[in-house]
Structure 1
Amino acid sequence: MKVLHLMRHADASQPAPGKSDRERGLGPRGRREAREAGERLMEVLAPLPLYCSAALRARQTLAELCTAWPALAGEPHVIEEALYTFDVSALMHWLMARNDDLESLFLLGHNPGLTNLVNHLVPAAGLSHLPTAGYVQLHLAIDSWACLGDAQGEVALGIFPES
């Protein structure tokens, strides 16, 4: 069995004039959401390495998670250009190329890709929208990430911000 941890970045500010989408940072609400998510995740998860989109708002979400969850800061995190995507096919391709020595993966990324990924891997989930700073843990009945396309999974845990 493989375990997939998925988290959407926290609430981002509107882009400043002349800045690209990838340069959008967190607003005050987003910083608060990310810290609260870190506090809640710390209660139910052991710290683990995290693969993070290269977008500023995702990197800032990771920084706030680590502030609230100091043990997470000690893990080796990877800023991954390929995770700055909104496309479920790109996410599937990236995941299927992972090393099978990794029993679990934690991705911090973007919608609609993450919502669509949950619904692709667990059709019964019926997730309409993964909210900002929302987290979902999937248990997948596979032994190899390369078999992800055939995965039969279940949602084991969901943690969403209290708005």
Structure 2
Amino acid sequence: MKHIKTIHLIRHAKSSWKDESLADIKRPLNKRGLRTAPVMAKVICQAGCDFQAVFCSPAVRAQATIQLMHQSLPELDFHWETIADLYTFDSRDLLAWCRSMDDSLNEIVIVGHNPALTDLCEMLSGCEIKHIPTCGYVKLVSASPLKWHQIVGKSFHMAAFLKPNQFM
């Protein structure tokens, strides 16, 4: 059965470049990222994200972002799955991953990276947003009922685009 699908995109919070010897995947959050993630968690929740099917990049900064969000939303009992394929900077990889989702899920949350998130948002919604900032959030809702494997360009509308500088 086809249903309206929703994709919640969360870009990881601001990461630290302090230790330049660290591999990209191992970079932690910086002080701003540590402050922003809990604030944005509440805002994202108010925008209608229930954090029930959460998939996260294995990057340290993405894992720390979702961990902080989880801690700041004690009323929500949620867990996340770490997906190696979400450590990507290419929207085509994200699109392929989304198309592989089980149709029993109507909403998914992806915690990941730019430019993949921004490019996916623009491709699916047709909106030119230029850049999802660190700890930014986009809610995409399918324009009509569909199955995940049927996702194509402009098949979603952007229901929310929230940036930390609106709330900090």
C-alpha contact (below 8 Å) 1:35/1:64 kept by paired residues: yes
Matched, 1:27 2:30: yes
Q: Per-residue displacement from partner, 1:28-70 (whole Å, max 9, x unpaired)?
A: 1001111110121232333423100000000000011112112
Q: Per-residue displacement from partner, 1:122-157 (whole Å, max 9, x unpaired)?
A: 11x111000000000001134210001255211111
**Given residue 139 of structure 1, which amino acid in structure 2 is its aligned partner?**
V
Q: Secondary structure at the match of 2:130?
A: coil
Which stretches in structure 1 are left out of the alignment for 5+ residues?
A: none
Aligned-CA RMSD value: 1.5
C-alpha contact (below 8 Å) 1:100/1:143 kept by paired residues: no
Of the three residues 140, 144, 150, the one matched with 1:147 is 150
- Whole-Å Cα distance in 2 between the matches of residues 143 and 71 of structure 1? 31
The residue aligned with 2:75 is 71
The residue aligned with 2:59 is 55
What is the total number of aligned residue pairs between the two structures?
Answer: 161
Identity among equivalent positions (%) equals 30
Q: Under a length normalisation based on structure 2, what TM-score does the superposition of the two structures give?
A: 0.90
Q: Under a length normalisation based on structure 1, what TM-score does the superposition of the two structures give?
A: 0.93
Deviation >3 Å, runs of 4+: none
Matched, 1:119 2:148: no
The residue aligned with 2:88 is 85
Which stretches in structure 2 are left out of the alignment for 5+ residues?
A: none
